[in-house]
Amino acid sequence: MAGLVGLGRRHLSSRTRVLATTLELIVAVFQRCSYTTTIAASSSYSSAREEEAGWRKEKGRWLTLPPFAPPVDASYVRKAIASGQRPAGEEEPTTALKWVRRCCPHLPMSLVQKLFRLRQVRRDLTKNGSHMDGYYGQQQLRRVSAKDVMMPGDVILLPVTVQNVATKKYDYSESEEEISFIRSLELYKDSAIIAVNKPPGMPVQGGVGIKYSMDALAAKSFKYDYPESPRLVHRLDRDSSGVLVLGRTQTSALVLHSIFREKTSGALSDTTCRALQRKYLALVIGTPKRWKGLISAPLTKIVLEDGKSERITIVKDTKTASSHHALTEYQVIRSSAHGFTWLELCPLTGRKHQLRVHLAEALGTPIVGDYKYGWYAHRKWEPMPWPESMSEDEKLPKNKPPFGLELDGGSIAEKQPFLHLHCKQMILPNISAALWQLQSSSVDHDFLELEKLNLVAPLPLHMRVSWDILSCLPR
């Protein structure tokens, strides 16, 4: 019995020693892991501090974007203006990716995504009063992901090298004379928009073979002290003239885009309730049967036989997939016994070449100088005689304009008259006041009382001369 007890004690002692050894090994492993983790954490912390120190040493390494301010949704503002009150509902939050795209529209989307993917986008924590890791009073940067939601006051930084990606769309410099000429076209300016009187012959948008265009010239001449260049929000034909509106900021440009894209369904509403009203003056060949009316004719685009040229035409089948309904109000202003008529036009929709096609095909009275849609009426064109009561100097500009513009001649007294189509007036909401109200702390606003801007552009020289010629001749 005693032997059995001794054997049991020796067996228990052996098991105890094994268990103790095992525990010692486990403790050693934990201590080693803890030591390794501490070293790694310390190394990571030191690396982070060194990286932060490197950021502070390399001044100018970062390009600082404007502090984030919640943008106003364009359709949201348009609905507020149309309804006369603030619409219900919350706006979609803005992510860091959207804010970078909004601040740097010239950067390719692929590059912006790459910056986020490589974790090269930072947020400045000192701009909104946050302080981390004891670096009080010093710039502190944190990586930001593309999906992070922006808060008011957040400041985003990008690598300064993105400045080298700036577009070279406008690769020419303007002289003081050219800048002075462009700025002389200015009709109105506030914090949201700039309105100009576009001269005939100047393209609105650049492209292949176009050296000078309004968007490029405005980007330099009308930027003033703004961080952004003005943006186009609608179009005018190259050979037409008149009121052209540009948005001074991306927010105002988006709102104006939404207003200019009014749907046909609301085009026949009361004139006083329309957010946008446009009036054109045109000199046409012939006289409409009715002195006043509404042209309702859908338009479509067709490709000519050469396979390259295209034109707009009226389509009878409204079920055609590519057709777009178009509405134009017209009214006779003055008629002449010589076969010319001055018309006032109010487009209720904004289709390409809408006025030119409606007058040429629907009314049968093409615009003077429209050789694309009224070529048949110019085959036997005969210039009008120059009235003796008018001085020859009246048909010459005071100074030769820059940018290769041909502003002399072009009246009905010439063999090849210019296009006689001019946007003389535009009435639209005061976008600057609307944005200020929506961004204020007040909840209820009466947008029905919102001020209207009345923009008026003087006639170009060739149309003034044609008007004077027809006024001097007997009717």
Q: What is the pLDDT of residues 52-86, one digit of tens each?
A: 444 344 445 888 998 887 766 666 666 666 655 55
> For 136-165, what is the mean pLDDT?
83
Those residues whose C-beta lies under 8 Å from the C-beta of residue 376, and which sit 6 or more positions away, are: 366
Distance CA(140)–CA(178), nearest Å, equals: 45
Strand partners, 344: 281, 331
Those residues whose C-beta lies under 8 Å from the C-beta of residue 435, and which sit 6 or more positions away, are: 72, 77, 192, 251, 252, 255
By three-state DSSP, how is residue 309 classified? coil
pLDDT interval class at 39 (50, 70, 90): very low
Q: What is the pLDDT of residues 350-379, one digit of tens each?
A: 999 999 999 999 999 999 999 999 999 999
Pick the closest to residue 400 from 412, 409, 413 (CA basis): 409
Distance CA(359)–CA(353), nearest Å, equals: 10
Distance CA(359)–CA(332), nearest Å, equals: 12
Number of Cβ atoms within 10 Å of the Cβ of 212: 18
Strand partners, 428: 453
Q: In this structure, is the dihedral angle defined by the CA atoms of residues 155, 160, 161 and 167, taken in order, positive or negative? A: positive
Q: If you write DSSP's letter for every residue of 232-282 in order, what string do you get?
A: E-S---TT-EEEEEEESSHHHHHHHHHHHT--GGGTTS-GGG-S-EEEEEE
- The residue written with tokens 């929506």 in the block is 438
Active-site residue numbers?
237
Q: Retrieve residue 336's tokens.
A: 């002449």
What pLDDT is stored for residue 34 in this prediction?
Answer: 42
Distance CA(56)–CA(49), nearest Å, equals: 11
Strand partners, 189: 194
**DSSP 8-state class, residue 316:** S
45, 55, 57, 113, 137 from 50: Cα distances, Å? 9, 9, 10, 26, 18
- Name the fold adopted by 176-258: Pseudouridine synthase (3.30.2350)
Most distant CA atoms of the chain, gap in Å: 150
Give the residue ranges of DSSP H helices in 261-413.
Answer: 354-357
What pLDDT is stored for residue 195 in this prediction?
Answer: 96
> For 31-40, what is the mean pLDDT?
40
Among the ranges given (131-135, 215-219, 393-397), the one the predictor scored with the smallest mean pLDDT:
131-135
What pLDDT is stored for residue 407 in this prediction?
Answer: 78
Please state whether beta strands 299-303 and 310-314 pair in parallel, antiparallel, or not at all (unpaired): antiparallel
- The residue written with tokens 């080298």 in the block is 164
Q: What is the pLDDT of residues 217-270, one digit of tens each?
A: 888 899 888 888 899 999 999 999 999 999 998 888 888 888 887 655 455 555
Distance CA(375)–CA(128), nearest Å, equals: 64
**DSSP 8-state class, residue 327:** E
Distance CA(351)–CA(312), nearest Å, equals: 10
Encode 415-445 in three state secondary structure: CCCCCCEEEEEEEEECHHHHHHHHCCCCCCC
Distance CA(421)–CA(357), nearest Å, equals: 12
Distance CA(121)–CA(124), nearest Å, equals: 10
**DSSP 8-state class, residue 189:** E
Distance CA(407)–CA(399), nearest Å, equals: 10
What pLDDT is stored for residue 196 in this prediction?
Answer: 96
Distance CA(90)–CA(322), nearest Å, equals: 35
Helix or strand holding residue 141 (H, E) = strand 141-143
364 or 140, greater pLDDT: 364
Q: Provide the residue count of the chain.
A: 475
165, 228, 248 from 224: Cα distances, Å? 22, 9, 10
By three-state DSSP, how is residue 366 classified? coil
> For 40-63, what is the mean pLDDT?
49
Bin 68: left if φ > 0, else alpha if -120 < ψ < 50, else beta: beta
Distance CA(299)–CA(312), nearest Å, equals: 7
Domain 275-429+438-472 sits in CATH 3.90.209.20: no
Q: Where in the chain is the domain with CATH 3.30.2350.10?
A: 176-258, 275-429+438-472
Go through 171-201 and write b for each residue having 16 or more CB atoms within 10 A of its CB, e for each that does not. eeebeeebbebbeebebebeebbbbbbbbbb
Distance CA(366)–CA(388), nearest Å, equals: 28
Indicate the residue type of 412: I
Q: Retrieve residue 21's tokens.
A: 């050894």
Q: What is the pLDDT of residues 103-126, one digit of tens each?
A: 887 788 878 888 998 889 999 887
Distance CA(169)–CA(232), nearest Å, equals: 15
Distance CA(129)–CA(153), nearest Å, equals: 10
Give the residue ranges of DSSP H helices in 95-249.
Answer: 96-103, 109-117, 176-183, 214-221
4 or 465, greater pLDDT: 465
